[in-house]
Amino acid sequence: MTRGLTYPDPIAPAEFRSLMSTFPTGVSIITTGRPGGAAAGMTCSSVCSVSLEPPTLLICLRKGSQTLDAVLRESTFAVNLLHDGARSAAEVFASSSTGRFDQVEWCNDPSFGGPHLMQDTHSIADCRISRTLSVGDHQVIFGEIFRVTQESPEQARPLMYGLRRFSSWPAEAEGR
């Protein structure tokens, strides 16, 4: 703490939500669960690269969510990066709907970090937890990536979210 300086109170959650809505981001579905066990998953736009060596990313999950509990229990997870045709999957996994996995096509294998949503993704990162950090009402999970499944990157059309709506990566950004 800096001596002699005082800082104003933090902004209200609604003001923070409004600020962050102006920052477009990619959309993913975080999944976890072993084959034969219960699968868990949720839509997540809080994904960030952290390190190349070791290859690490972070995700932020709300405390109290069943997916967070399952990720911590399993110690592995998959980050399913959604393509622009996967809006319905993003909405299903963002809802409180039970039976989410009944509404999408998915597969699981003991070598995966979590279920793969093959029809809805352009890339998948399988991760093992390397560290966690509690921040406010969220848990930051650092995941060391042990496998990547990816369609040709030049064909990827990521699903984006910003200004409280979904969109796709614009064609003009790709030089088409």
pLDDT digits (tens, 9 = 90+) for 39-97: 999 999 999 999 999 999 999 999 999 999 999 999 999 999 999 999 999 999 999 88
Amino acid type, 118: M
* Mean pLDDT across 13-28: 90
Distance CA 80, CA 76 (A): 13
CA–CA separation, 173 and 72 (whole Å): 37
Give the pLDDT of residue 26: 93
Q: What confidence score (pLDDT) does residue 174 get?
A: 54
Per-residue pLDDT of 123-147, as tens digits, reads: 999 999 999 999 999 999 999 999 9
Whole-angstrom distance, CA of residue 68 vs CA of residue 66: 5
Residue 176 has pLDDT above 50, yes or no: no
Average pLDDT score over residue span 13-30: 90
Six-digit token string for 65: 């969510």
Domain covering 24-163 assigned CATH 2.40.50.140 in the classification? no
> Cα 30–61–82 angle (5° rounding)?
30
What pLDDT score does 90 carry? Answer: 97
Per-residue confidence at 21, pLDDT binned at 50, 70, 90?
Answer: confident
140 contacts 44 by C-beta, under 8 angstroms: no
